[in-house]
Amino acid sequence: MSKIEKQELTSMSITDLQKEKLKELFPEAFTEDHKIDWDKLRLTLGETIDVGKERFGMIWPGKSECFKTIQQPSIATLVSARDESVNFDTTENLFIEGDNLEVLKLLQKSYLGKIKMIYIDPPYNTGNEFIYPDNFSESLETYLEYTGQLDSEGKKFSTNTETDGRFHSKWMNMLYPRLFLARNLLKADGLIFISIDDSEVSNLKFICNEVFGEENFVACLVYDKNRKNDAKYFSVGHEYILVYFKDYQKVFESGTIFRIQKEGIDEVKTEFERLKLIHNGDWSKVADSLKEYYSKWGKDDPRKSLARYTKVDADGPFRDDGNISWPGGGGPKYEVIHPVTKKPCKVPDAGWRFPSKKRMDEEIEKGRVVFGQDESTLPRIRRNLFESDKEVMTSVHYSYAQTATMEFNKIFDNKRVFENPKNYQDIKRLIDYVTFKNDDDIILDFFAGSGTTAHAVLDLNNEDGGNRKFICVQLPEPCDEASEAFNAGYKTIADISKERIRRIINNLVKEQKLRVSKERATLFGEQSTNVMDWGFRVFKLSISNFKIWDSNTAKEPEAIQQALFGHVDHISPEAKQEAILFELLLKSGFKLTTPIEQLTIEGKHVFSIADGLLLICLEKELTNDLIKAIAERQPSRVICLDEGFHNNDQLKTNAVQIMKSKGVLNFRTV
């Protein structure tokens, strides 16, 4: 290290990433100067490609532009909005307001291969639902104009109408780059769920087959939607969710095979029979021994999901934590008598899960309903482990769109501030199906809409004590000024989504306090409760805090000179220290929720990232003593402001040598 390197201020290069993947597989196909020898690659693959022959595939106008869009790094950043967040300093949940294409690019370094599940509900392309910029490759510029942060200079925005000659192509050009970038973020055993209707389901499947691979197609789920009274021929009452693995082989290797594997259940059966004989039917001892047996399974053991079945009787291990309420609300409210007190049980606000009293009685007779100590406690659904090998996800969802709307409206004091929200119970069920509660799994939704996915994650964590995290991304799409949402004070869809999450958190905090209070009042004494993550950090897409050289600058001397003068002070004068810090964090490959500690070293402020892995100094007066003190801590990386050296070449040279002597090989300035 003879000189200080410059910190990169753009998002990760997708082209470089793809080349690295290719080089890992076919190093012989690369030349000495790291270029691809296409002829050698063809020979390595044992075939030649005759471009004159027809091949199976899907081509549409603008597809080649999609790849240019993917390969263009982002020069944007994400700026924190503490005043719109909840528990900003402690939470690991994120809500990002901005164009999801730019945001997905910015997340590439920090969240590459870290997302367990993606759920998105993109625009269905019905002719009036999504704004499509005239030039979708100028994403940050058009976003800033769209949100009023830049003058439009005559650029127009319009909906994608059916009369447009490229109606389907525009929708595909919008979605393709986003799915491509989203795939990079998925873990090897991750999955993506995409809601869609009849208008584009066939085109979406073609895109997904190309992006994820046809072999990674899992299922096409069907679920209920609001029916239209103006249907011409058939009143279609369903929509779809396409499901894809990132890598089906990795899914099977990791054990994420939709909740429960029959092999694991058979293994527990054998152990249960052994323990039953040892303890001679003493179920409390059998249960304790079974818990000890579960505890031997490692963190990555695919059987660990079975450890939820901790209670035991003659029918085997079971759990009684099933929600007995009608999904989405509006269910029947008949009388159920407590078997001991003989008094009517408390009825769920959403109604009973079972549609009739007769059906409820059948479930009670089968032993599938567990009652509380008295009628004041809601009964719960019992789930027997040895019946769970039959528990696979059905390809049909019997959710009810109208009840989902009613449930959503309740959150907003019965105001209709959003049309046709998805049922959070459906999304919650999917999340529960493919994640484990103690894995810190991250669920991403980059078409967040009304915040359904965040609601589902929070509610599921509340139900099972899990620590799943969410990242939601939503464009600040303006609400119609004549709408009930606008009149209620919500200027954008993002505002609605953020307020929903705040209200859900507030309700869950109240519920937890009430639950803890009741637990402390029981005969069993105070019960331990998990410290839940009731919060989310809000970030907003914005221009970089740094002036980044524009490679498209005109080649005329005057234009170049003007651009150079503009880079003398390359940090925006409006930039706040926290904004600069988070931009460097993001573009250095650290998560936006990475722990940050402010230190005082030699009288200067230095930020310690991830327990000292990275040290960032934003002081404008650097000294030799400060450089030495930072190097003494032996971080893996150090970033300082270039202006802190004040063009002192000797100080720069000394800084390089000091860092090198202490083993700090990644020392950069910005």
This prediction has a pTM of 0.74
Phi, psi angle pair for 601, to nearest 5°: -125, 120
544 domain-assigned: no
423 domain-assigned: yes
At 205-253, the pLDDT tens digits run 999 999 998 888 988 888 776 665 556 677 677 889 999 999 887 776 6
Return the H-helix or E-strand segment holding 637.
Answer: strand 637-640
According to DSSP, residue 135 is labeled: S
CA distance 640 to 617: 5
6 domain-assigned: no
Long-range interactions of 655-663: CB distance < 8 A, separation 24+:
655/4, 655/622, 655/624, 655/627, 656/1, 656/2, 656/3, 656/4, 658/624, 658/627, 658/628, 658/631, 659/1, 659/627, 659/631, 660/1, 661/631, 662/631, 662/632, 662/634, 663/634
Do residues 488 and 574 share a domain? Answer: no
Share of the chain above pLDDT 70, in %: 79
Contact status, residue 7 vs residue 669, Cβ threshold 8 Å: yes
According to DSSP, residue 126 is labeled: S
CA distance 326 to 333: 10
Contact status, residue 287 vs residue 312, Cβ threshold 8 Å: yes
Do residues 384 and 401 share a domain? Answer: no
Contacts of 79 (CB under 8 A, 6+ apart): 539, 540, 542, 579, 582
Burial of 584 (0-12, 13-18, 19+ CB in 10 A): buried
Number of H helices, E strands in the chain: 21, 22
Do residues 337 and 368 share a domain? Answer: yes
**What's the confidence (pLDDT) of residue 388?**
54
Do residues 348 and 402 share a domain? Answer: no
Do residues 219 and 130 share a domain? Answer: yes
At 480-532, the pLDDT tens digits run 899 999 999 999 999 999 999 999 999 999 988 877 776 666 544 544 455 78
Q: How many other C-beta atoms are found inside a 10 Å radius of the C-beta of residue 72?
A: 20
Phi, psi angle pair for 166, to nearest 5°: -120, 45
100 domain-assigned: yes
Do residues 83 and 226 share a domain? Answer: yes
Do residues 106 and 62 share a domain? Answer: no
Q: CATH number for the domain including 190? A: 3.40.50.150
Do residues 609 and 573 share a domain? Answer: yes
pLDDT (mean) for 336-342: 94
Whether residue 435 is predicted with pLDDT greater than 90 in this model: the reply is: no
CA distance 472 to 424: 14
Query: Strand, helix or coil at 175?
Result: helix
80 domain-assigned: yes
Do residues 241 and 107 share a domain? Answer: yes
The residue among 71, 90, 122 that closes a domain is 71
The residue among 52, 71, 90 that closes a domain is 71
The residue among 538, 569, 592 that closes a domain is 538
Q: Tell me which residue of 597, 613, 595, 614 sits closest to 605, measured CA to CA.
A: 597
546 domain-assigned: no
Find the range with the poorest average confidence among 17-26, 32-41, 595-604, 645-654: 32-41
CA distance 304 to 321: 17
Contact status, residue 659 vs residue 669, Cβ threshold 8 Å: no
According to DSSP, residue 4 is labeled: P
Beta strands 396-397 and 115-120 are unpaired
Find tokens 């090989």 and name the residue: 665
**What's the confidence (pLDDT) of residue 585?**
93
At 487-498, the pLDDT tens digits run 999 999 999 999
7 domain-assigned: no
382 domain-assigned: yes
Q: How many other C-beta atoms are found inside a 10 Å radius of the C-beta of residue 30?
A: 16
Write down the mean pLDDT value for the chain: 83
Domain that holds residue 43: 12-71
Do residues 424 and 566 share a domain? Answer: no
Strand order across the beta sheet in which 5-6 lies: 5-6, 666-669, 637-640, 614-617, 604-609, 596-601
Do residues 33 and 81 share a domain? Answer: no
Do residues 87 and 19 share a domain? Answer: no
Count of structural domains within the chain: 4
